[in-house]
């Protein structure tokens, strides 16, 4: 995965939200709708059960040109059926996951603060899941970041598209010199670690997609907005359309 990636629609295939529906059948409809990133999450299943689902879903994603990650369980991401792992803020360190998986796998990390985002970026995460941006039932214990908090993470650690930066973000203020390096804040901006894509998560709906993309996100992650819909494929298609509309309105506003 390059650091200049437009992620677009990222769907969390939460087994609890899928209910009795076949994950593979739902995945097919989401692929047809244009979603390109998926994360399989099942907090209650055994490793063997999750590995079995990855074996079913991985080939479908591969044939559809999509990415499939597994939630939390980095050891299962070593499978040829998974493209990588998404780690929560309290899960194993990014460096430990990288040693386990090697350079060919994608590692994402959740971040709710700028400090968490910078730490994940510097440890070698490939992308950030920033949120919850809005109140959400799937992350009920998380105080929402708000769009301003998301923008701060995108500005500090994200691979912020230049056109979005110009329209929606001002440069950081210069506040004297660093205690250790003796450089000004403006000088530090010039030598900072390259950013990584930021995926906005938490309470994202079709109506909110453009707002989080305008804040600098490279993609939007959803779970209940799609999986709780009567027709998940149609719900996903609506969000993909909003992302496409934003890209057309802002030129190459999202990373490509």
Residues with catalytic function: 41, 110, 139
| Separation CA 52–CA 47 (nearest Å) | 8
Written as six digits, the tokens of 94 are: 């990014």
Question: Please, what is the Cα angle at 169 between 164 and 174, to 5 degrees?
Answer: 140
Tell which residue, 98, 97, 106, has the closest CA to residue 69.
106
The two beta strands, 67-71 and 8-14, are: unpaired
Q: Give the containing element (helix H, strand E) for 56.
A: helix 47-63
Spatial distance between the Cα atoms of 215 and 254, rounded to a whole number of angstroms? 11
Give the closest residue to 207 by CA, choosing from 194, 222, 192: 222
CA–CA distance, 202 with 222 (Å, rounded to integer): 7
Asked if residues 40 and 50 have their Cβ atoms less than 8 Å apart, the reply is: yes
Helices 146-157, 114-123: inter-axial angle, 10-degree rounding:
30
């Amino acid at each position: 995965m390059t650091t200049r990636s437009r992620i677009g629609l990222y769907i969390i295939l939460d087994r609890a939200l899928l209910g009795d529906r076949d994950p593979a059948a739902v995945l097919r409809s989401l692929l047809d709708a244009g979603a390109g990133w998926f994360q399989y999450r099942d907090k209650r299943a055994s490793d063997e059960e999750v590995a079995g689902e990855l074996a079913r879903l991985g080939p479908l994603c591969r044939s559809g040109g999509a990415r499939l990650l597994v939630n939390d369980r980095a050891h299962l991401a070593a499978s040829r059926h998974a493209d990588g792992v998404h780690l929560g803020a309290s899960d194993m360190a990014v460096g430990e996951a990288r040693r386990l998986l090697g350079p060919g796998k994608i590692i994402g990390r959740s971040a709710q603060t700028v400090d968490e985002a910078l730490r994940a970026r510097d440890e070698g995460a490939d992308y950030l899941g920033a949120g919850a941006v809005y109140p959400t039932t799937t992350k009920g214990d998380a105080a929402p970041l708000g769009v301003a908090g998301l923008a701060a993470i995108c500005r500090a650690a994200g691979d912020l598209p230049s056109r979005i930066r110009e329209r929606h973000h001002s440069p950081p203020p210069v506040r004297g010199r660093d205690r250790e390096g003796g450089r000004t804040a403006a000088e530090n901006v010039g030598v900072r670690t390259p950013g990584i894509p930021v995926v906005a998560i938490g309470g994202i709906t079709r109506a909110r997609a453009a707002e989080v993309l305008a804040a600098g996100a490279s993609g939007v992650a959803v779970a209940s907005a799609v999986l709780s819909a009567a027709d998940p494929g149609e719900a996903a298609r609506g969000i993909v359309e909003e992302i496409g509309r934003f890209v057309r309105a802002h030129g190459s506003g999202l990373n490509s």
